[in-house]
A and B are shown apart, each in its own frame.
Chain A
Amino acid sequence: MTDIEKNKTEVIVVGGGPAGIACAVTVARAGHEVILIERGSFAGSKNVFGGAIYAQPTREIFPDFEKEAPVERLNVEHKFAILGEDDSTVISYRRKDTENPSYSVIRGKFDRWMAEQAKKEGVIIVEETVVRELLIKDEQVVGVKTELEDYYADIVVLADGVNSLLAKQIGFRKKIEPKDVALSVKEVYKLDKEKINERFNLSDDEGCIYEIFGGPMLGMLGLGFIYTNRESVSIGLGIGLDELCEHNLKPYEVLDKLKSHPTLAPLIKDGELLEYSAHLIPEGGYKKIPTLFGAGVMIAGDAAMLVNNLHWEGTNLAMISGKLAGETAVRALACGDFSENMLSRYQKELENSFVMKDLKTYRNLMDEAHSRNDSFMGYYLKEVNGFFKMFTTVDSIPKREKYRRFIFDFIKKRNIIELFKDALSAVKLLWSILIK
């Protein structure tokens, strides 16, 4: 037997995150042989996110996951906090949605659980193995080269995450620019369940999410987050890598500043640091999506830049893209056709789904955000806090005088031309989101 015959399977999936697992389990359920290769010692061990997973897309992969999966809390409250130097404005939306909720999860537990389920359904999981390159024959991907041996397959699906060195190897994308990714750093603090419930106004296993604007990231493309877990609180931020480079900022120092803000510090007070972590978030959006398929190969999840950063969605896009890649692989196996033309169905399926539709809707978001970040992520955020400071301060100055001063300053500090440009940018963006 040649090496090809000995080590040959139907589908190889690279990467045991949500995209890879969703893909692999879809293929296995159709009765095909599939090997999932994960570089960590278990699925989830190299993964970091805020974060929350969303019930509806997760049910599409694991319909009964809520009965047994290790989820932390069901999120009932979203808080949008705009931080100033020492003040803040917080808008809060609270509703216990049991139909389509989101759950906070810890990836080391949740991804691992998903991988175990996939294994039960027939996926062969190979851990602690790094795929170093793709094997190519006659311009078709025919397998993978790991540290130990070569494996061959009819189809290889790349779900190898934001850094996808494999996508780069086969020229599916150019070098990623610093402005196309955000660097995220996160700290997880151990706190009693009762303390968390008290501090975040929760009962039982209810959870709360903070989305944080401004503070140490004022004027920059960066956001902070807090998620409540069962007995810990995750606090972190994601900030444009270009911003860190431009402003010479150390990410952990920005996070230290964020944590010390008077609005947030009490939430994690006396917590014991369980773990510090870092990860990149692909934020290039629609315009930076790489080539998604080729002969014998498809690419899904973060590796394909499928993140909707405005809505904090990533794992759902990963799961659905993985599922669609899996379904395409099943069709291709049925026809015995692994050509580029056959696998182009994957892109069509993605385009018919919310994944590409949403990314297309927001295709201009990052351009506008980059060009107007000092205003939308800086000036206006400051003015929100400024307004409430003016509105709530009692100091015997007549109100009309205060209002006039506020409006005068609002225009003067930014100047008319800049205000006009901001308005134009906002209209342009809204038009592209709502109309075409």
Chain B
Amino acid sequence: MTLDDKLFTVKYRPDETSHLKPDFEMCKTCTSKICTVICPAKVYEWEEAEKKLTVNFENCLECGACRIACEKNCLNWEYPKGNKGVTFKNG
């Protein structure tokens, strides 16, 4: 089972704008790009060709791991709006 299959089981009400706002310029200088590894929903992906971090915020499980792990300390992490984001039924 792939991660996408797993995420398919999660109920989301996605927002139009991202609640996760990294400083993309700082991300370019980050060597580990650890957010692309530790995020349980693979929200962050590094596009080497464009030298840009993509943020699939609509998959976010709102755990906060990226906020703590970000070694550049350049992630503005907020909760999604009150009626948006993930709803766990079996938490």
Indicate if the CB atoms of B40 and A185 lie closer than 8 Å. Answer: yes
Indicate if the CB atoms of A47 and B91 lie closer than 8 Å. Answer: yes
Closest to A37 in B: B82
Q: Which residues of A contact B49 (CB under 8 A)?
A: none
Q: Report the minimal beta-carbon distance from B59 to chain A, rounded to whole angstroms.
A: 11
Tell which of A46, A107, A108 has the most Cβ of chain B within 10 Å: A46
Indicate if the CB atoms of B68 and A41 lie closer than 8 Å. Answer: no
A183 vs B35: C-alpha distance when bound (angstroms): 13
Q: Which residues of A contact B67 (CB under 8 A)?
A: 163
Q: Report the minimal beta-carbon distance from A379 to chain B, rounded to whole angstroms.
A: 26
Indicate if the CB atoms of A187 and B83 lie closer than 8 Å. Answer: no
Task: Name A40's contact: one of B9, B69, B87 (CB within 8 Å).
Answer: B87
Task: Please count how many residues in chain B sit with their CB below 8 Å of the partner chain's CB atoms.
Answer: 37
Number of A-B contacts (CB under 8 A): 127
A47 vs B61: C-alpha distance when bound (angstroms): 10
B81 within 8 A of partner (CB): yes
Q: Which residues of B contact A146 (CB under 8 A)?
A: 82
Q: Which residues of B contact A185 (CB under 8 A)?
A: 40
Task: Name B90's contact: one of A178, A249, A277 (CB within 8 Å).
Answer: A277
Indicate if the CB atoms of A275 and B40 lie closer than 8 Å. Answer: no
Known contacts: A39-B79, A187-B6, A250-B38. The answer to whether A178 contacts B69 by CB under 8 A is yes
Q: Which residues of B contact A129 (CB under 8 A)?
A: 82
Known contacts: A48-B88, A130-B81, A244-B38. The answer to whether A181 contacts B68 by CB under 8 A is yes
A275 vs B87: C-alpha distance when bound (angstroms): 11
* B67-82, CB < 8 A from A: 67-69, 73, 77-82
Q: Which residues of B contact A423 (CB under 8 A)?
A: none
A279 vs B91: C-alpha distance when bound (angstroms): 9
Indicate if the CB atoms of A44 and B91 lie closer than 8 Å. Answer: yes
Indicate if the CB atoms of A274 and B90 lie closer than 8 Å. Answer: yes
* Interface footprint category on A: 35 or more
A275 vs B89: C-alpha distance when bound (angstroms): 8
Indicate if the CB atoms of B90 and A278 lie closer than 8 Å. Answer: no
Q: Which residues of B contact A178 (CB under 8 A)?
A: 68-69
Known contacts: A178-B68, A275-B88, A277-B90. The answer to whether A130 contacts B7 by CB under 8 A is no
Q: Report the minimal beta-carbon distance from A40 to chain B, rounded to whole angstroms.
A: 7
Known contacts: A46-B62, A252-B6, A275-B9. The answer to whether A107 contacts B69 by CB under 8 A is no
Indicate if the CB atoms of B88 and A108 lie closer than 8 Å. Answer: yes
Q: Which residues of A contact B1 (CB under 8 A)?
A: 256, 273
A165 within 8 A of partner (CB): yes
Known contacts: A107-B91, A232-B90. The answer to whether A147 contacts B82 by CB under 8 A is yes
B34 within 8 A of partner (CB): yes
Indicate if the CB atoms of B68 and A248 lie closer than 8 Å. Answer: no
B residues in contact (CB < 8 Å) with A: 1, 3, 5-7, 9-10, 32, 34, 37-38, 40-42, 61-65, 67-69, 73, 77-83, 85-91
In the complex, besides A241-B68, A250-B38, A251-B40, 14 extra interface pairs with C-beta distance below 8 angstroms are A46-B91, A127-B82, A130-B79, A130-B80, A147-B82, A165-B78, A181-B65, A183-B65, A241-B69, A244-B65, A245-B69, A273-B6, A275-B88, A280-B68
Task: Please provide the 5 A-B residue pairs with the shortest distance between their CB atoms, ordered closest to farther.
Answer: A276-B6, A278-B40, A48-B91, A128-B82, A107-B91
A residues in contact (CB < 8 Å) with B: 39-41, 44-49, 106-108, 127-130, 132, 146-147, 162-163, 165, 175-178, 181, 183, 185-188, 232, 234, 241, 244-245, 248-252, 256, 273-280
